Amino acid sequence: MPENSISLTPTEWNLMECLWESAPRTGREATEYLKKRVGWSRSTTLTLLRRMTEKGIIRCEEIDGLKAYSPLVKREDAVMRETKDFLSRVYKGSVSMMMSSITKKLELTREEIDELYGILRQAEEAEK
């Protein structure tokens, strides 16, 4: 599925985290996972599994007579789309405005600062 077409609701993110953590998962395994983590009922989970299969976000296949579900969207692709949407919506697409806001309001550790410098150095190298 192309990254541009990925748009997950907060509810869908819960189910995708379940499948990204371990796939394939049966409906029962997904139900148990989501009941523990977010308190969903069996019918809520099964309904969401069906809808997301219909949308082409996850795949359903039969394994040993049981329906098993796997993600068709990579976590990295979904995160990238969500990040682009957030950056566009909140910071008008400006990475520097976002970083300025983050560094002014949060106390960054030395390790986080070093990590950010490393990311910038990689971006600079890739530009050459």
Give pLDDT, residue 5: 62
Cα radius of gyration rounded to whole Å, the chain: 19
Tens digit of each residue's pLDDT (9 = 90 or more) over 68-88: 999 999 999 999 999 999 999
Supply 90's token pair: 């909140």
The CA–CA distances, whole Å, from 53 to 15, 28, 114 equal: 12, 16, 41
The pLDDT of 41-62, averaged and rounded, is: 96
d(CA 52, CA 97): 35
Q: How confident is the model at residue 104 (pLDDT cuts 50, 70, 90)?
A: confident
pTM of the model: 0.78
Give pLDDT, residue 53: 97
**What amino acid is encoded at 127 in this protein?**
E
Q: Which domains does the chain have, with CATH numbers?
A: 3-71 (1.10.10.10), 98-128 (no CATH)
